[in-house]
Amino acid sequence: MSSLPPPPAQTPGEDPVLAAICEAACAGTGASTAWVVEIIGDRLRVAASTGASASLARGRSVDVSGTVGYVAASGQPMAITPRPGDTHLTGGLLGALDLEPSAVVAVPCHDDGEVVGVLEVIVERQGARFSFEDVELASLLAGVAGPAISQRAGTTAAPSPEVLTAQLRSLASDAPARYAQVALVVQQLLATA
C-alpha cells in the first residue's frame, strides 16, 4: 500500500472533501496544481485547489470558457499538451491566472447525469505530459467530486453507510485496481475528517 500525502492545508471556505480530491489528484498524477471548479449559473468558481498555483486560483470566479469551460459545457474530458499561444489557454481559469502549463487534463464532475463542476490538473514543468492512466484517475476522482459539489450546494444527499459499503464491496470484486485507487482516496478523506 502506498503512503498517503499529509492532509491538505485547509483554506477557510474550502470544502474538505474537494480539497482532499485535489490533493489526491496531484499526488496520483504528478500534477503541479489541481482545482475543482463548481458551476454557479453562468460562472465557474474554484471550490478547492492545491499545488504550485493554488493560491492564485482559490475562490476565483471566471466565465465558462477555456479548458474548464469547454469541459463544463460539453461534459467531455479534455487532455491536451498545448503549444505556445494555444487558444485553449487564453480563456477561463488558465487565462485569468496567466498560466501556460505544458499539460492539462480537465474532466467533468457529474451528479445524477448532470455536469456540476470540473476537476482540472496541470503540469507546469516543460516537456511533462499526462498518461492515459492519469486521465482515468482524474475521472475517478471527478466521480467523487460531483456528488460532493452537489452536497455542498445542498442538492443531493450522501449515500447511507450500508449503500456505500455495498458499492465498495462490488467495486473490489469487479475492478480490484480501481478499488485500490478509491480506497486510497477514501482513506485520505477520512484522515481529514
**68-86, pLDDT tens digit by residue?**
889 999 999 999 988 877 7
pLDDT given for residue 20 in this prediction:
93
Amino acid, res. 179: Y
What structural domains and CATH numbers belong to the chain? 16-158 (3.30.450.40)
pLDDT given for residue 11 in this prediction:
52
Contact call for residues 52 and 30 (beta carbons, < 8 A): no
Residues lower than pLDDT 70 in the chain: 1-13, 153-159, 193
pLDDT given for residue 13 in this prediction:
61
pLDDT given for residue 159 in this prediction:
66
Contact call for residues 66 and 95 (beta carbons, < 8 A): yes
For 5, counting Cβ atoms within 10 Å of its Cβ (0-12 exposed, 13-18 middle, 19+ buried), the class is middle
**Comparing C-alpha atoms, which of 160, 158, 147 is closest to residue 111?**
147
CA distances from 69 to 1, 82, 189 (A): 36, 16, 27
pLDDT given for residue 23 in this prediction:
93
Residue 6, SS3 per DSSP: coil
Report if pTM > 0.85.
no
**37-64, pLDDT tens digit by residue?**
999 888 888 899 998 877 777 777 787 8
The CA-based angle 132-61-85, given to 5 degrees, is 55
> 45 - beta bridge partners?
38, 61
Q: Which helix (H) or strand (E) holds 17?
A: helix 16-29
pLDDT given for residue 177 in this prediction:
86
pLDDT given for residue 167 in this prediction:
80
pLDDT given for residue 86 in this prediction:
76
pLDDT given for residue 6 in this prediction:
43
**Comparing C-alpha atoms, which of 150, 136, 145 is closest to residue 180?**
136
Strand order in the sheet with 61-63: 61-63, 43-51, 33-40, 114-123, 103-111, 78-80
pLDDT given for residue 191 in this prediction:
79
